[in-house]
Every structure is written in structure tokens, then in C-alpha cells.
Amino acid sequence: MTASASEREDNQVCQEPAVIPSRSITPSQIDADALKVVRRLQRFGHLAYLVGGCVRDLLLKRSPKDFDVATSAKPNEIRKVFRNCRLIGRRFRLAHIHFQGKIIETATFRAELRQNPEGDLLIRSDNEFGDERADAFRRDFTINALFYDPVAKQLIDYTDGLEDLVERKLRFIGQPSIRVQEDPVRILRAIKFAARLDFCMDEETWRAICDYREELKKAAPPRLLEEIQRMLRSGAAEASFRLLWESGVMEVLLPEVAHYLARSPERGEEREPGVGLWAYLRALDKLGDRDMLTNSVLLAGLVLHPVLDAAACAGEGYGLQFETKAVGEVARAMVRPWVERIRLPKWESERIQQILAGQKRLVKLRTNASIPKGLLRRNDFPEILDLFELYVRATGKDRRKLAHMRKTLMRSANRSPNLKGTLGDGQAASERKKRPPRRRHGGRRRKPAFQPSAPTSKG
């Protein structure tokens, strides 16, 4: 029988860690520079462990994206140990230990924050040092609170995170309702991890996400945008956004996309509501090189179907007003609120509008038609083509058109070096002919300084 969140919270005071010898993690799986950081800190008398997502992924036989280190050493002590260390952060100092082509982020153990449950629970300051136990319990999920000592080859588990990994369960540390009010972004992190790892949430975690979704309005908008972009790049975008929709979080975070899904019966999509959006996200998940896509392309694809639907219904159901039904005009009206709500940069909102309008032009082209030169020479054409390729993968249409466009691009690039830059070829851009230096203001070149000629001998 599983203990309730309140019972687990009461047991935290006296809970001792489970120290588990681990043979499933081998030194070859660990980044050599991260291993070097841990060993050197321990050699200087400090506690040091691998922590967080890298330990979780190693135990799940996944490849960690990065390796983080937690230590008892204070930031200035870390800097004394490593000459290649740079301290960052104002509220809480972090050590970035630089190696060739990578950074090993090293953090001092932090204290568990105690707040009055009767007042506002939102965390506004979290900058006190603590010990390893406090650092484990202040983390969000049990599966992210595991420490691994690669020297002693031991797992240190304060929160029963290893048991949750085995059961493939996502669970908050402590009482979920309090944890999501302390930091509402944990709602998005819970959805992201559940989708990406294919874990199920326990009942209390899911209830807290649904009940406190409005707390996301208190979160820092740039963090919301960052989590949306991470979901789109995670390889589990479809599962992530389905959970956002089912929990009601999407109505708070992206009401424009939620309105599109709510209008599914009016479009005759009773069997699979929002079929176009899910097909796009499914195609994105299957794309092997999605990390090469820009954030503008990812967000343009997310809002593509809502924009087309809003244009078709003249904005009814979306609360939008626009003069024409042109895709660019509708996209501008739909994406404008994102600038305030999730701090989308204005230049990127304009970029999304241009990409959507350009993609619409490609869809209307005949299969063997040539690409308009004005469109081909635009600096955002590679992004337009990326979105069009996602459209082809999602719908299965216009495959011949896409192949024809790529052949046309290759021929144009071979004829004109200036067009190679539109293909994302950095080498071609560097080979372009450089312009001669401009003359100074005034129009005339300066005369060289007077130099006396060498004396000549007279006969």
C-alpha cells in the first residue's frame, strides 16, 4: 500500500538515505570530464555526486544530455580547486567548469525552503546553502533526487526515487498541492517528464496539476516559453500536448490552441479532435534532426492549424479581429498575445507570421512550378521549407512537390553562389565575394603622407 503525501512528508524528518551499490552504471557511460570534477572535489575533502537527470537517465539506459554535479563545497572553494571555473548567477551562485566544447555545471547543496502554508507559497528566493539531505528534499520529483557517487559506485536515495523508477511512476516530493504553488512551472515539468519518459503520474500529482493550473499565471513568462520549446523538442511533443489539453493547462498557457481543439466538432472531427495538430506533432516527434529546426519553425507549426481555422471562420470562437483572411494577418492577431503572456520576442512573432505566410504560398504552388525568386531569396526561406516539409510528413501530400523544390534549390545553388546561403550552407556563405571597403565621408581618397625623396648625386 502506498503512503499518502502527508505521511511521506512527516517521515522526511527522520528518514535516512538508502545507500545502494550499483553495478548497472559503468564508468564508460559517464562523461570523463564530469567524472574528473567529482574525483577532484572528493580529493580535496568535499562531498561530490552526480545528481538529477543524468542519474535518472543512466538508470533508465538512456543517454544523458548533460551531467550535473552537486557538492558540499562553496562556490569560492570550487573556484580554488579548478582554474577553469567561472561563477555565474546573482541570487544563487553556480560554478561552470569549462572543458573543451562543454560545461560541467556544479552546484553547492541547497537548503530546503520552509514556508508558511497559510500565506503565499510562491518561491521568490531560494539561495541558502544546505546539506545533501536538504538538497534532495528541495527537488521537485523523486526520480530527480537521486545522487550517484561514481568513485564509491553507490546510489544515495532519500526519497524512494529508485522505487518510483522501477514502477515508472512520476511523483512529487512532499505534498503536490504545495509544491506546484511554490513553483507553478513544476506543472509543465511534470507533464514533460511523464510524456518523455512514458511514466504515469500518481493520483495526487495529477489532481494538483488540474486544480492549480491557474497558478501558471504567476510564473515568470520566459520560463513558460522555455518549457514549451523543450516540449516541442523532446521527441514526445504529441504526448506532452495531449496531457496539456486533458489537464486543462492548455487553456491557461495557450488558449488559442485550446480554442482550436474545442472547435473540433464544428469541423466534423468527432472521431479524433484536432487531427491536424496531432499529425503535425507526430511528424515532429519522428523527425530525426528536429534539433536543427529553429524555435520560430516549431512555434509556427504549433499555431498553423489554429490560424487556418480562425481564417476559415473569420475569427469566431477565437475572439480575434482582423481586416482580411490572409494567413499573415490572422497569424499576427493570434500570436500578438504571446508577446505579453510568455514573453515571445517581437521579432520572433513577426518571423512566425512570415513563415506561415510563406508556407501557404508553397502549398498553393503546382507540383512542377518554379519557386518565385522573391520567395527563394528571402533569408527566412529555409525555415519556410522546414515547415512545409513537416506539412508533407504530417499529411502525406505534395511529396513530389517537395522533391521538385529541393532539386530546384540544388540547381539554383550551383548556378548562383548567393542562393547557397538559403540552403543553410555556412561554407557557401563564407565563400561569397567580399565587398570592397567603403570610402570615407567626403568622397575623395586621402593623399599619402609626404615622404622626401632620397637625395640624388650630381655629376
Which residues are catalytically annotated?
Answer: 66, 68, 140
CA atoms within 13 A on the CB side of 101: 3
C-alpha distances (whole Å) from 448 to each of 73, 438, 441, 444, 452 are 62, 18, 17, 12, 12
8 Å CB contact between 148 and 25: yes
Closest CA to 224 of 183, 181, 179: 183
Can you say how many angstroms the Cα of residue 9 is from the centroid of all Cα atoms in its chain?
A: 31
What values do phi and psi take at 21, rounded to 5? Answer: -60, 135
Cell 553507490 appears where?
A: 154
Tell me how far apart the alpha carbons of residues 166 and 301 are, in angstroms, rounded to a whole number: 36
Closest CA to 85 of 73, 99, 72, 74: 99
Concatenate the DSSP letters of all residues of 377-388 into one string.
TSTTHHHHHHHH
8 Å CB contact between 425 and 413: yes
C-alpha distances (whole Å) from 361 to each of 288, 326, 388 are 26, 11, 10
